[in-house]
Structure 1
Amino acid sequence: MIRADQGDIVKVHYTGRLNDGTVFDASPADRPLHFIVGRKEVIPGFEEAVIGMYQGGKKTVTVNPEQAYGPHRTELVEEMKRSLLPADLALEPGRQLEVDPNEGEKFVVLVKEVSDETVTLDANHPLAGRELIFDIELLEVKKSENKKAAH
């Protein structure tokens, strides 16, 4: 049986859920996720869950915020005057906006609250501070060329 390890190219199907059962992400049935273990292409907790799995295996893991998108940081939530934003900008809670405060450093913020005078924006990742549950099926493991040569 082939086991996933550092440097391997893996193909997985997954479903990501929150504690309340809400699905926040899943691999499409016809397009599994491919990544190289150890390259930090996925969140650390997901990668750690795949290491040691056997091809064809399935597991469910719970990933804490520190191994996912980090804690929710209050310093990334800012209330600003609505007049500082373009007047024609549709502002509603839950909408994501792309901002570019330093010309070339674009990032996404979430509109949390809107009043006549102010807008509260949150630059945290939407899943920051959340425990994530993943159902993972390891479809394929390809050993890296370096490992093949070593065996």
Structure 2
Amino acid sequence: MTIATGDSVTIEYIGRLTDNTVFDTSREPIAEEAGLAEAQPDREYAPLTVEVGAEQVIEGLEEGLVGLAAGETTTLSIPPEKAYGERSEKHIQEFETNELREMLGGELPEEGELLEAQSGQRGDVIHVDEDVVRVDFNPELAGETLEFEVEVLEVN
């Protein structure tokens, strides 16, 4: 049975950047080798089950699963527009330094730190001076072409 929209699919996967850097995986030995397991010690590495068409994964991965069958392995190359989009200046926000310091209880973040907005969005502090703080809320993988090595374990 080949995968169609609406099917529940269980996969094992390895997500890599074009330079071969592993950024995500369902396989614990790969996560350990890539240093991901150390960075996320509480994460459980296990096969992923998704409903195709329910937008539970990025568009390019979902589209790449359609037509595959249980037992198949493939590598999908997913351009930014089918993944996390291109990097955009509109996702960089400026805050008045004094206002941000007040919102953070007197603290001021430093360049390179992560800042979590009230919405839960996380951004990289890219500039701090006495007048303005700039925070980049672009997704970490924005602008990247992603490669997913996928093994289809089960299709329902």
What's the TM-score, normalizing by structure 1?
A: 0.80
SS of equivalent residue, structure 2 residue 123: strand
Unmatched tracts of structure 1, length 5 or more: 143-151
C-alpha deviation, 1:32, in angstroms: 0.5
Distance (Å, rounded) in 2 between the aligned partners of 1:27 and 1:116: 44
C-alpha deviation, 1:108, in angstroms: 1.8
C-alpha deviation, 1:113, in angstroms: 3.4
What's the CA shift string for 1:1-47, capped at 9, x where partnerless? x2111111100011111111111111144511100011111111000
1:57 is matched with 72
Distance (Å, rounded) in 2 between the aligned partners of 1:56 and 1:91: 48
Give matches, 1:114-129, under 5 Å. Answer: 114-115=128-129, 118-129=132-143
C-alpha deviation, 1:114, in angstroms: 3.8
Q: Are residue 97 (structure 1) and residue 111 (structure 2) matched?
A: no
Give matches, 1:105-144, under 5 Å. Answer: 105-115=119-129, 118-142=132-156
SS of equivalent residue, structure 1 residue 125: coil
C-alpha deviation, 1:96, in angstroms: 2.3
- Percent identity between matched residues is 37
Q: Which structure dedicates a bigger proportion of its chain to helix?
A: 2
2:31 is matched with none
1:68 is matched with 83
Give matches, 1:1-40, under 5 Å. Answer: 2-29=1-28, 31-40=46-55
Distance (Å, rounded) in 2 between the aligned partners of 1:83 and 1:8: 51
| Aligned Cα root-mean-square deviation (Å) | 1.9
What's the TM-score, normalizing by structure 2?
A: 0.77
Task: Report how many aligned residue pairs link the two structures.
Answer: 136
